[in-house]
Structure 1
Amino acid sequence: MDTDVREPGGSRAAERTDGHTDEEAARHDDAMRAASAFGPVGVIGAGAMGAGIAQVAATAGHAVTLVDVAPGAAAAAVEKVGGALSRLVDKGRMPADHATAVLARITAAQSLRDLPNCGLVIEAVPEDLGLKRGIFAELADLQPSTTVLATNTSSIDIDDIAADVADPERVLGLHFFNPPPVMALVEVVHGERTAPAYVEHAVALVAAWGKTPVRCSSTPGFIVNRVARPFYGEAQRIVESGIADPATVDWILRERGGFPMGPLELTDFIGQDVNLAVGTSVWEQTGRDERYAPTEFQRGLVEAGRLGRKSGRGVYAYAADGSVEGAQPDLELAERLVGGPVATDPLARTLAMLVNEAVDLVARGEASADDVDTAMRLGTRYPKGPIAWGRELGFDRVARWVAELDAAYPGGRYRPSPALTDGSLT
């Protein structure tokens, strides 16, 4: 554990002889009580997400069974978890005996029938509706009626996944972010048929694991993957239309907006194919709403095999050491664009659409304003939540920006949310 832990006001938190602070020990004890009350946890899928979720649950004190149908996959994932725990020990962030105990709680298995009776089963298999639906139907038959059945899907509708489950009130989403042991955010997603008591139960358990839960309904993309769409889309459209080059757009969003990465370099980091797939999923699930339409710019990159860092070239070209080659921002152009007309100002244009999207989601009752802001700060590391940013800029001002964009680019993408001006968020 890190030893320099400070309480509010700057005083050093009390430390114990076992290397934990009193605050850390209290959190650990809370998690252990929750684990004891909730019982074993099953995790389906031994990829990076499944292995990470298994590590989180085992660290919180649960006996975990990690299942993957591929021979040896679950055992290999347990070994990887062991390596991750060893690195934490080497860095002084976990006592060695704690790491040994965590790893001992994880068991590898190859069949859903190998699961014990669990308090919770979390599915983390590839984003294939048919695959997920079949797993949940089988789990519903094999597990007690009291078992919470959760999916780690990032975008598929919860009710669609639960379609073949006789008691869909116990099916919900627990969307972890990658890597699960590090990322604090978990979206707790309810379908129309999910019982509120199960949602509250899941929220309490996730909090006991030391994560930050946010509640949302099963809207396409949930909170983060829906609200973030304009961050990528506006940058792509600005480059596509010749307003500015990628390096200049990224510089503006980083240096003037405070975002940790520019939107174009971020899609290269994520993978253009991955980012396009998520965006396309949201677009399809919203009835091909123009607001979420993928760009020809990004489609062209994917078709050309320019997938980003992993392929050596995406928006940018990358050297063998991963550094960007030959991309310098035009600072004079950046100075002219920022503060100018919103249609050609990458920062104002992006902020207007982020705020507009977030306000719309809250107005539809799909998540609270506080949960939207928390999700975007923790899930994407935005410097401010979009609702808070809207309040700071002034919702009337944002409404004018979006109206200007709608006039400049008619067709529906830039339609202003009525909630920007109806006073509901002031």
Structure 2
Amino acid sequence: MAVSDKDFTVGVIGAGAMGQGIVQVGLEGGCKIVLHDAKPGGAEAARDLVFGRLDRLVEKGRLEADAVAAMKERLEIAADLAGMAPCQVVIEAVFEDLELKRRIFGELEKHVAADAILASNTSSLPIAAIARGCEARGRVAGMHFFNPVPLMKLVEIIKGPETEDAVAATLAELGRRMGRTPVTVKDAPGFLVNTGGRAYTTEGLRLLHEGVGTPAQIDAIMKDCCGFRMGPFELLDLTGIDVNYPVSMIVYEGYLHDPRLKTVPHHKALYEAGRLGRKTKAGFYRYDDKGGILDAPSPDHATDAAAPSTVILAEDDPRLTEFCAGLGISISEVDDGVSPILCAPIGEDATTLAARTGRDYRRLVALDLTPDISRRITIMTAPGADPAMRDAVAALVGREGRKVTAIQDSPGFVAQRIRAMVGNLSCEMAQIGLASPAEIDLAMTLGLNYPQGPLAMVDAMGVATTCRILDRLQAITGEDRYRPSLWLRRRALLGLSATMAA
């Protein structure tokens, strides 16, 4: 039976939030649905919730009443797994327990047709491990939806090492019938989105761990300067520490402790303390009953200092010269010994630049000119710097209404580090063949609401510039966490786009 056939039947095992979402989009796609949940009354309760959501869509004018009535007729409750016998595809959506999933798949093989497809909605467990106990492993694949399913358009189709091409193609077609955008991914820890998404939050966590900035400062920079809808700490609190910490560890351990995927002790501490984010009203922020952030410190650097009349440039930098011209500030060719010294490092911190150039670190103020600075600009100083120099420069760059965030010394500031790490991890996913460059960018924008695909982001920053940031981060920190992917390095050396396929 073809996926497009009217009577195409899909089984859903597990009636939690994900299972309910899959049922809803399956019904909206015209499929027949058979729902089973091991908890007595669980499937019936889920059915009522799904029907209630469909009725509300009728009230809002998004669906027709007759269409919803027909959808309700297409849903059947199965008392046990034997009720999955008529299904062409069965999607398992129980919680992340490998042995449980294996038992379910083994039992399903006793009841469904020989050509029925068995799919898991797992977000991180290897499909190969789930299929291990099956007799017909070629029909087992992953079909990973994103929460909330009715709103998130992406679905990852995961091919295990023995998954047949026709099986993956059928699931992709089913995803399209359900109104989702399918992306085919190789079986690997965390698959595509849950692996690629690690960089944004874990590098934010690393910056917090190093004392570079507060959650509010880092979030503001990534939103105002880089176009992300949420900062990394807002995102961590929204998804829940009880979700993102275990997934971070699954991916980190799955890639055999690759330092690019490492989280920090504070992440674990929040998890163990039960400070799980919005759901417990406390995580990286505190929350009120409506989910609003309470008492967050301002990310803005407030000062009543006077702007300087003259500045010195630490080194010849056309970007910085143009920026100063736009501010109408005079640049002295001779160091007068008292004026602020400005620099705009790429991948360096103020300390390293001062040591390299021999400039007075006490008067040196670094500005990040790489992201969008129309609304906010990030400045930083070396240890021991004169706060009066920082405040004078903050007054200068913020006097036209632009907000200023002053952070502690950091190679690559905040925006350079996080964006370079996001791009580098996606380059590595392209290098190891998790998906094509186009599918990586599509998945990351649909699955994580990034302002642009991470490989396109590398192109926008400059492939060579991104590689340079990472090289300097690795040199300064001594950590392989920042080693550039070969995908990135080769394209930087050859002047090629990061989105160019191998």
How does the TM-score come out when normalised to structure 1? 0.89
How far the C-alpha of 1:264 sits from its partner, in A, is 0.3
How far the C-alpha of 1:117 sits from its partner, in A, is 2.1
Deviates more, 1:333-342 or 1:254-263: 333-342
| Kept after mapping to 1: 8 A contact 2:159/2:168 | yes
Cα deviation, 1:302-325, whole Å, max 9, x if unaligned, reads 222211111111111112332211
Q: Which amino acid aligns with 1:345?
A: F
Deviates more, 1:47-56 or 1:106-115: 106-115
Give the structure 2 partner of residue 347 of structure 1: 415
Give the structure 2 partner of residue 266 of structure 1: 235
Give the structure 1 partner of residue 175 of structure 2: 206
Residues 11-30 of structure 1: pairs in structure 2 closer than 5 A: none
| Corresponding residue SS for 1:332 | coil
How far the C-alpha of 1:35 sits from its partner, in A, is 4.1
Deviates more, 1:322-331 or 1:130-139: 322-331
Give the structure 2 partner of residue 100 of structure 1: 69
Q: Tell me which structure has the larger Cα radius of gyration.
A: 2
| Corresponding residue SS for 2:118 | strand
Note if 1:322 corresponds to 2:291: yes
Unaligned residue ranges in structure 1 (runs of 5+): 1-31
Give the structure 1 partner of residue 132 of structure 2: 163
Partner Cα distance (2:79, 2:473) in 1: 53
- 37 and 171 in structure 1: CA distance in 2 versus 1, 3 angstrom threshold: farther
- Runs of 4+ in structure 1 off by over 4 angstroms are 337-342
Give the structure 2 partner of residue 24 of structure 1: none
Give the structure 2 partner of residue 44 of structure 1: 13
Q: Which amino acid aligns with 2:50?
A: V
How far the C-alpha of 1:97 sits from its partner, in A, is 0.8
Give the structure 2 partner of residue 283 of structure 1: 252
Give the structure 1 partner of residue 438 of structure 2: 370
State how many pairs are aligned.
395
Cα deviation, 1:85-128, whole Å, max 9, x if unaligned, reads 01100100000111111122111223101223211000000001
1:183 to 152, 156, 162: 152
How far the C-alpha of 1:363 sits from its partner, in A, is 1.2
Give the structure 2 partner of residue 332 of structure 1: 301
Q: Which amino acid aligns with 2:14?
A: G
Residues 41-120 of structure 1: pairs in structure 2 closer than 5 A: 41-120=10-89
How far the C-alpha of 1:141 sits from its partner, in A, is 2.2
| Corresponding residue SS for 1:189 | strand
Give the structure 2 partner of residue 407 of structure 1: 475
How far the C-alpha of 1:56 sits from its partner, in A, is 1.1
| Kept after mapping to 2: 8 A contact 1:339/1:345 | no
Partner Cα distance (1:411, 1:336) in 2: 24
| Kept after mapping to 2: 8 A contact 1:267/1:275 | yes
Note if 1:385 corresponds to 2:354: no
| Corresponding residue SS for 2:191 | coil
How far the C-alpha of 1:38 sits from its partner, in A, is 7.0
How far the C-alpha of 1:290 sits from its partner, in A, is 1.9
How far the C-alpha of 1:281 sits from its partner, in A, is 0.7
| Corresponding residue SS for 1:127 | coil
Cα deviation, 1:261-307, whole Å, max 9, x if unaligned, reads 11001111111121101101101111122222221011111222211
Cα deviation, 1:225-244, whole Å, max 9, x if unaligned, reads 10110111111111121111
Cα deviation, 1:363-391, whole Å, max 9, x if unaligned, reads 11110001110111111100000011111
| Kept after mapping to 1: 8 A contact 2:160/2:186 | yes
How far the C-alpha of 1:328 sits from its partner, in A, is 3.0
Partner Cα distance (2:233, 2:406) in 1: 21
Partner Cα distance (2:298, 2:193) in 1: 28
Q: Aligned-residue CA RMSD in angstroms?
A: 1.9
How far the C-alpha of 1:339 sits from its partner, in A, is 12
Cα deviation, 1:379-426, whole Å, max 9, x if unaligned, reads 110000001111122211111111112122234211110111213744
- 409 and 110 in structure 1: CA distance in 2 versus 1, 3 angstrom threshold: farther
| Higher percent of residues as helix | 1
Unaligned residue ranges in structure 2 (runs of 5+): 303-376, 381-404
Partner Cα distance (2:20, 2:132) in 1: 26
Partner Cα distance (1:361, 1:33) in 2: 33
How does the TM-score come out when normalised to structure 2? 0.76
| Kept after mapping to 2: 8 A contact 1:342/1:404 | no
Identity %: 39
Give the structure 2 partner of residue 9 of structure 1: none
| Corresponding residue SS for 1:193 | coil
| Corresponding residue SS for 1:315 | coil
How far the C-alpha of 1:220 sits from its partner, in A, is 1.1
Partner Cα distance (2:102, 2:112) in 1: 15
2:485 to 414, 417, 423: 417
How far the C-alpha of 1:349 sits from its partner, in A, is 0.5
How far the C-alpha of 1:342 sits from its partner, in A, is 6.4
Residues 105-254 of structure 1: pairs in structure 2 closer than 5 A: 105-254=74-223
- 169 and 33 in structure 1: CA distance in 2 versus 1, 3 angstrom threshold: closer
| Kept after mapping to 1: 8 A contact 2:85/2:111 | no
Deviates more, 1:299-308 or 1:378-387: 299-308
2:425 to 357, 361, 371: 357
